[in-house]
Homo-oligomer: A and B are copies of this chain.
Amino acid sequence: MSETVNKPVVGIIGTGAIGGFYGVMLARAGFDVHFLLRSEFCAVAERGLQINSAVHGPLTLHPANTYSAAEDMPPCDWLLVGTKTTSNVGLAPAIIQAAKPDAKVLLLQNGLDVEDSLRPLLADSLHLLGGLCLICVHRDGPGLITHQALGAVNVGYHSGPAIADAARQAIVEEGAGLFRAAGIDSQAMANLHQARWQKLVWNIPYNGLSVLLGAGTTPLMADADSRVLIQALMAEVVRGAKACGHDIAPGYADYLFTMTEKMPDYWPSMYHDFRHKRPLELEAIYARPLAAAKAAGCELSRIDALYRSLCFIDRGNL
């Protein structure tokens, strides 16, 4: 009983593949987790959440604490946001509703500066953080999630009330600690921008090429030309990051490349968005890094070509 009292209350805003997976892992580790759902509320309220994990085996959370409205949720210490970046502004009312006054809001999203549009809509007392998930996971249906591989979350601090850097970093450590307590590899990052650029080394090549070439990671890694293209795109991300003041560790791109080679065939979320005619996350994953690099005097030509192509595809897909 005392254990539960000490553990923070966690709210999951957007119970898709990411929110569902980490929420279930935290709930199974004993955290008090509450899931906000929209269209899938009835199905998940009835059947709970099921994860078919190649790493952890089949995981079921039933019943799950499910809500169709944020005002019904208990005040949360941590809010994990697993929705698309394209809907961040629209999430503010739900986040405000579910958050304790000094809550930590963690955006589990890819791309650059995804917190910026949300920040002005939140009270200054709320801590805003970003989390980068290196994971192969997808949603198969309401409350049904397949976890193919990996799972690590890198956490960094974005903004919040005026407190010392050390206090901010303690919050980041607390966030990473949540995941680690649930058996998930997690690192507290000293710089969120750095963490976001680092994750882009993977997302920029694979997300876009999965849509452009209609291929998952296995065929992309099996073809000599797409391999060269992926490596060239990764090198451009590293160059863009450097121009913006973030040195990606030497060998990190190679590490991701080799890691992807060993992964099961994985279709990035952008491909699923494309296939289901949802807007692609082009702003966060392509437009902002390109603009940031350009402002720093760095042209990323291949990424620009990929981005323009994806814009054309996205516009014709909606």
Mark A residues whose CB is within 8 Å of B. 209, 212-213, 215, 219-220, 223-226, 228-229, 232-233, 301-302, 304-309, 311-313, 315-316
Contacts and interface: CB of A to CB of B under 8 A. Distances in A.
Contacts of A220: 312
A292 B207 CA distance: 31
B232 A312 contact: no
Give the 10 A-B residue pairs with the shortest CB-CB distance, closest first: A301-B301, A225-B311, A229-B308, A302-B305, A225-B308, A226-B312, A305-B305, A301-B302, A223-B312, A213-B312
Nearest to A224: B311
A313 B232 contact: no
Nearest to A311: B225
Contacts of A308: 225-226, 228-229, 232
Q: Is the interface of A mostly helix, strand, loop or mixed?
A: helix
B302 A219 contact: no
Given A225-B308, A232-B304, A302-B302, 17 more contacts: A212-B212, A213-B313, A215-B316, A219-B316, A223-B312, A223-B315, A225-B309, A225-B312, A226-B311, A226-B312, A229-B304, A232-B308, A233-B305, A301-B301, A302-B304, A305-B305, A305-B306
Contacts of A309: 209, 212-213, 225-226, 229
A313 B209 CA distance: 11
A301 B233 CA distance: 10
26 contacts: A209-B309, A212-B212, A213-B309, A213-B312, A213-B313, A215-B312, A215-B316, A219-B316, A220-B312, A223-B311, A223-B315, A224-B311, A225-B307, A225-B308, A225-B309, A225-B312, A225-B315, A229-B305, A229-B308, A229-B312, A232-B301, A232-B308, A301-B301, A302-B302, A305-B305, A305-B306
A316 B306 CA distance: 20
A9 B301 CA distance: 49
Contacts of A313: 213
Contacts of A232: 301, 304-305, 308
A315 to B, nearest CB: 6
